[in-house]
Amino acid sequence: MKKKLILVLSSFITFTVLLAFSPHVQAAADPTIRATNYKMSIKLNTRKNQLTEKITMHIVNNGNESVKNLLVRNIAYGVLKYDHQHFKATRNAKTTVKNISSNGEKLTYTTGKDKSNLFVNKSLNAGQSTDLTVNVVTDVPQRNDRFGYQKVNNGKLYNLSFCFPYLSDYRNSKWNYHPYYDPGENRNSAISNFHVNLFAPKSYKVAASGQNTTKKGMTTIDAKNMREVAIVASNKFKVSHTSANGIKINNYYLSGKNSKQYNKLALMTAKDSFNLFTKDVGTYPYQELDMTESLLGKDTGGMEYPGLVMIDGSGFIKKTRKKKTIKKHKNTAPITTDKYTELTADVAHEIGHQWFYGTVGSDEYMEPWLDEGLTSFLENSIYDLTYSKSKVYCAKLEHNKYYNRKMVRRANQALASFIKKIINQPNEKTTYVNRPVNKPQKGIDTDDMAYDIGNIFPLALMETMGKNKFFAALHDYYQTYYLKQATTQDFLNIIRKYDNSKKVNYIINRFIDSNYLR
């Protein structure tokens, strides 16, 4: 997810900072019990705003122990429970599990305190596999967010994510799950293959994770080696395309006064981001990426999924002032930003998540910095600080005459100087980055920990190690955990492989709380 707004490019690049900063354990590549395939039949009723879902998951026990039950997560319950408490328009929306079966046999289940958790009474011995089918009917709430429908341009747009049942991870002899966390994410999923048939009115264009084709109201989606599937459908979408490094990029956008500028800038930013992140981190694993424009609510710039990113288009769809002032932290000066700069930041950030979250997975609830911090680093310190065609076009749209190669060099020098000051403050208070979303350091906001401090930690490592060593380590980390799941400890092991000096360990100790290493 992209929070608005951390770093802004204008006539001079302004760096905002939260504070003056002040033995090998490898993560399992896969959970021992996992769903290797999902077969999904989904019907979208746009009159009732309702999903009818039949999800069949092929589950394999690759471990050495048997289990007495299987944990299915119907995450839509957690989403709607939150919505009921915060949005009047969502209070009648509900999700109902009709039945769960295995090979035609109806199964019972219990929920316990959190009704998102369906503990299915189905044992699975070591080495065995089974097919589990979940039938559920879920209302789509009226909410401008990652799961919900919104009325736009005299039509409708459906963001369908966090609404499909899935098998929880089974690691270290237990089922792993987290409560729904609306300001961020609580995902923790292994790679699987998804085959989806989505039925929707013929007037709707569909974007989705993976590759898809639509014929006579049925969209067939094949998403291989992905952590989840997200779907966006609208009867008001236009579609345009570009490519980068052989990857097809599809932009689904809404018509409006500035739609041509939105479409062009979004595609240019996507292309530049792909080229830069591929060069500095590694190869993107999929053939396509879909971008979708929508309204995503206050302070949300975008949302990431494997093969699909949602981008907030509020500044282009709504009738708002061209410029607006954001004051993110009480100790920082207000920032005057522009919708075009916001768009480049949002697109670069969400595309960065294709590398960190989509390809290299992590437990977003327990270690949110691993995806948000590293992605903020890609956005702010690679895309934003590289002279690019998309930034040139953005400056042109903003009538900014100061964006040039010299200004970008000055911005890089300013950032290096700032990071050196952090490094050279030996008595400064430690500011930890690797805590769970529900246990940030006292006085530190969870978002600040994950995004801001999570961005500064790799910057400090890069300055201390030197760019050559740091990017070699980052590339190694990406390749080692490519389509797997990593932890902070795994990241540190790779860093120390390239530089285990006192200076690097000093930086690590400044930002990493050893009590929360996993």
Q: What is the pLDDT of residues 232-285, one digit of tens each?
A: 999 999 999 999 999 999 999 998 888 999 999 999 999 999 999 999 999 999
Q: In terms of C-beta distances under 8 Å and separation of at least 24 residues, what long-range contacts does 473-476 make, across chains too?
A: 473/497, 473/498, 473/499, 474/280, 474/281, 475/280, 475/281, 475/282
Q: Is residue 451 annotated as part of the catalytic site, yes or no?
A: yes
Residues 6+ apart with CB under 8 A from 63: 32, 33, 126, 170
**Taking Cα atoms as reference points, which of 311, 212, 307 lies closest to residue 253?**
311
Residue 21 pLDDT exceeds 50:
no
| Res. 326 pLDDT band, cuts 50 70 90 | very low
**Per-residue confidence (pLDDT) for residue 14, from 0 to 100:** 35
Distances (CA, A) of 194 to 147, 209, 299, 306: 19, 9, 31, 12
372 marked as part of a ligand binding site = yes
Q: Which residues of 61-86 are buried (b: 16+ CB within 10 A; e: fewer)?
A: bebeeebebbbbbbbbbbbbbbbeee
Q: Tokens 């044992």 correspond to what residue?
A: 123
**Per-residue confidence (pLDDT) for residue 343, from 0 to 100:** 96
| Catalytic pick among 288, 350, 398, 463 | 350
**Taking Cα atoms as reference points, which of 239, 303, 275, 517 lies closest to residue 389?**
275
pTM comes to 0.92
349 marked as part of a ligand binding site = yes
- For strands 360-361 and 484-485, give the pairing: parallel
353 marked as part of a ligand binding site = yes
Q: Are 351 and 343 in contact (CB under 8 A)?
A: no
Residue 39 pLDDT exceeds 70:
yes
Average pLDDT over residues 426-455: 90
| Catalytic pick among 365, 451, 478, 481 | 451
Q: Is 502 exposed, middle or buried (0-12, 13-18, 19+ CB in 10 A)?
A: exposed
**Per-residue confidence (pLDDT) for residue 319, from 0 to 100:** 57
Alpha carbons 229 and 286: distance in angstroms, whole number: 13
Paired residues of 240 in beta bridges: 251
- For strands 70-73 and 50-61, give the pairing: unpaired
Residue 185 pLDDT exceeds 60:
yes
Alpha carbons 120 and 125: distance in angstroms, whole number: 15
Residue 72 or 7, more confident: 72
**Per-residue confidence (pLDDT) for residue 426, from 0 to 100:** 66
Average pLDDT over residues 110-125: 95
Q: Is residue 506 annotated as part of the catalytic site, yes or no?
A: no
Q: Read off the tokens for 441.
A: 């350091």
| Res. 337 pLDDT band, cuts 50 70 90 | low
Alpha carbons 23 and 513: distance in angstroms, whole number: 16
**Per-residue confidence (pLDDT) for residue 29, from 0 to 100:** 58
What is the helix (H) or strand (E) element at residue 446, kind and residue range? helix 446-447
Average pLDDT over residues 223-233: 97
**Per-residue confidence (pLDDT) for residue 108, from 0 to 100:** 98
Residue 357 pLDDT exceeds 80:
yes
Alpha carbons 267 and 251: distance in angstroms, whole number: 7
Q: List, as one string, the DSSP characters of 317-360.
A: HS---SEEEE--STTS--EEEEHHHHHHHHHHHHHHTTTBTTTE
Residues 6+ apart with CB under 8 A from 85: none
Q: Read off the tokens for 57.
A: 């998951």
